[in-house]
């Protein structure tokens, strides 16, 4: 199923039950917040008094009880579902839920707690002067390649076929929606920064060719690997930190207040993409896969060598010149991206080097079969 078809399928209403008018998603709850939320989303907003009774207290209670929002399965899954009401294609639900006061309040409450944790834990970096070149070079310095273990290097050199598939499953949480989270920032910017972001996004969205949209290239990689490209098909197997990495960019994109962080986050993504994608393409070639599988990674080797310049100088740097007060948030966004993705990568490498799966395997996920091994 391609992305368009799966989105269409996700919008199909179930008529099998009067009570649950919308289809259950292909993933399950991880605690009281996601449990009540998923149950409520199967019914129309008209039933909210009943289905979301006590919900804000349940959210407040879960937030009060967690010491680590980034690693909290229930809260991160709930935030992904709530952001999904804006993206579409995550849960089949009454579209009125997008701006229902209860879902908006829950989204903001979880985001605020997540942001507080990051503001506490993200290492402080010196803010450069509010000049485009200075901001770009500070971001390049922050994101410069480091020797030592990395997920991309592991895939290039030693990952098994199974581990390479796990990588694709983990990455799919964001990449099947690439780069929608950053698009939220477009109307929240102006002038040079806005023009830069639009220039990057034109490539991300295929430059007018839907089949070249990066999300579509990744969906094809999944299908070629024999994996299901429907959004959320493997979400049950994905740990909280990987979901947190995706939620982070959605939170930055959806809050105008955080437009500096969104720009810094995106610059850091573009700056840490070209080399790792070369290694990822090499890894899949080493495992015997052809261009149908590696196209997504190969595309990013060249594209992001250009994007990192635009994102550093014109998006983040341009924004800093337009709004000097945002420089520290630009650096915060970049550092937060590296911290959260670093946590997720560390966890993946720990599991792999210990000979374990990086997925939540208790969910019994089937990662498909190599096409050339299908009889
Ligand atoms: Fe891309
Ligand atoms: Fe890019």
204 CA → ligand 1 middle, Å: 5
Query: Looking at the CA of 311, which ligand is closest?
Result: 2
Rounded-to-integer distance, Cα 338 and Cα 356, Å: 24
98 CA → ligand 1 middle, Å: 26
214 CA → ligand 2 middle, Å: 9
Q: Is the pLDDT of residue 69 over 50?
A: yes
Record the pTM: 0.93
Rounded-to-integer distance, Cα 343 and Cα 113, Å: 18
pLDDT digits (tens, 9 = 90+) for 5-61: 444 444 444 444 556 789 999 999 999 999 999 999 999 999 999 999 999 999 999
271 CA → ligand 2 middle, Å: 9
Cβ(168)–Cβ(358) under 8 Å?
no
Cβ(334)–Cβ(252) under 8 Å?
no
Rounded-to-integer distance, Cα 103 and Cα 56, Å: 9
154 CA → ligand 2 middle, Å: 22
Q: Is the pLDDT of residue 372 over 80?
A: no
**Every domain of the chain and the residues it spans:** 3-121, 132-373
Query: Looking at the CA of 178, which ligand is closest?
Result: 1
Q: What share of the chain has pLDDT > 90, as a percent?
A: 90
Three-class secondary structure assignment of the chain: CCHHHHHHHHCCECCCCCCCCECCCCCCCCCHHHHHHHHHHCCCHHHHHHHCCCHHHHHHHHHHHCCCHHHCHHHHHHHHHHHHHHHCCCCCCCHHHHHCHHHHHHHHHHHHHHHHHHHHHCCCCCCCCCCHHHHHHHHHHHCCCCCCCCHHHHHHHCCCHHHHHHHHHHHHHHHCCCCHHHHCCHHHCCHHHHHHHHHHHHHHCHHHCHHHCHHHHHHHHHHHCCCCCCCCCCHHHCCHHHHHHHHHHHHHHHCHHHHHHHHHHHHHHHHCCHHHHHHHHHHHHHCCCCHHHHHHHHHHHHHHHHHHHHHHHHHHHHHHHHCHHHHHHHHHHHHHHHHHHHHHHHHHHHHHHCCCCCCCHHHCCCCCCCHHHCC
Q: What is the mean pLDDT of residues 177-196?
A: 98
Beta bridge partners of 22: 13
Preceding omega of 179 cis (within 30 degrees of 0): yes
370 CA → ligand 2 middle, Å: 28
Cβ(353)–Cβ(150) under 8 Å?
no
79 CA → ligand 1 middle, Å: 23
Structure tokens at 198: 């639009």
Phi, psi angles (nearest 5°) of residue 364: 60, 50
Query: Looking at the CA of 302, which ligand is closest?
Result: 2
Please give the mean pLDDT across all residues of the chain: 94
24 CA → ligand 2 middle, Å: 33
Query: Looking at the CA of 216, which ligand is closest?
Result: 1
36 CA → ligand 2 middle, Å: 37
Query: Looking at the CA of 298, which ligand is closest?
Result: 1
77 CA → ligand 1 middle, Å: 24
pLDDT digits (tens, 9 = 90+) for 162-185: 999 999 999 999 999 999 999 999
Which pLDDT belongs to residue 128? 98
Task: Please name the fold of domain 132-373.
Answer: Heme Oxygenase; Chain A (1.20.910)
pLDDT digits (tens, 9 = 90+) for 255-314: 999 999 999 999 999 999 999 999 999 999 999 999 999 999 999 999 999 999 999 999
Which pLDDT belongs to residue 373? 61
């Amino acid at each position: 199923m391609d992305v368009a078809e799966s989105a269409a399928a996700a919008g199909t209403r179930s008529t099998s039950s009067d009570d649950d008018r919308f289809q259950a998603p292909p993933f399950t709850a991880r605690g009281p917040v996601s449990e009540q939320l998923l149950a409520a989303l199967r019914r129309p907003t008209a039933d909210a008094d009943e289905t979301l009774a006590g919900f804000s207290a349940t959210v407040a209670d879960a937030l009060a009880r967690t010491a680590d929002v980034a690693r909290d399965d229930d809260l991160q899954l709930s935030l992904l579902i709530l952001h999904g009401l804006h993206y579409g294609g995550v849960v089949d639900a009454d579209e009125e839920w997008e701006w229902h006061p209860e879902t908006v309040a829950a989204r903001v409450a979880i985001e605020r707690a997540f942001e507080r944790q990051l503001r506490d834990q993200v290492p402080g970096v010196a803010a450069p002067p509010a000049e485009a070149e200075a901001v770009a070079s500070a971001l390049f310095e922050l994101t410069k390649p480091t020797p030592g273990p990395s997920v991309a290097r592991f895939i290039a050199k030693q990952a098994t076929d199974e581990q390479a598939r796990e990588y694709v499953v983990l990455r799919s949480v964001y990449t099947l929606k690439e780069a929608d989270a950053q698009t939220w920032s477009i109307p929240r910017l102006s002038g040079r920064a806005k023009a830069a972001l639009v220039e990057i996004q034109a490539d991300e969205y295929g430059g007018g060719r839907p089949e070249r949209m990066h999300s579509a290239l990744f969906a094809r990689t999944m299908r070629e690997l024999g994996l299901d490209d429907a959004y959320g098909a493997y979400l049950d197997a994905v740990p909280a930190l990987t979901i947190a990495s995706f939620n982070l960019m959605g939170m930055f994109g959806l809050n105008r207040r955080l437009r500096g962080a969104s720009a810094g986050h995106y610059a850091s993504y573009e700056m840490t993409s070209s080399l790792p994608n070369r290694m990822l393409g090499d890894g899949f070639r080493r495992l015997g896969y052809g261009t149908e599988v590696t196209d997504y990674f190969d595309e990013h080797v060249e594209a992001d060598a250009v994007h990192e310049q635009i994102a550093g100088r014109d998006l983040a740097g341009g924004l800093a010149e337009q709004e000097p007060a945002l420089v520290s948030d630009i650096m915060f966004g970049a550092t937060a991206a590296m911290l959260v993705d670093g946590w997720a990568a560390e966890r993946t490498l720990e599991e792999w080097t210990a000979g374990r799966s990086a997925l939540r395997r208790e969910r019994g996920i089937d990662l498909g079969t190599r096409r050339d091994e299908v009889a």
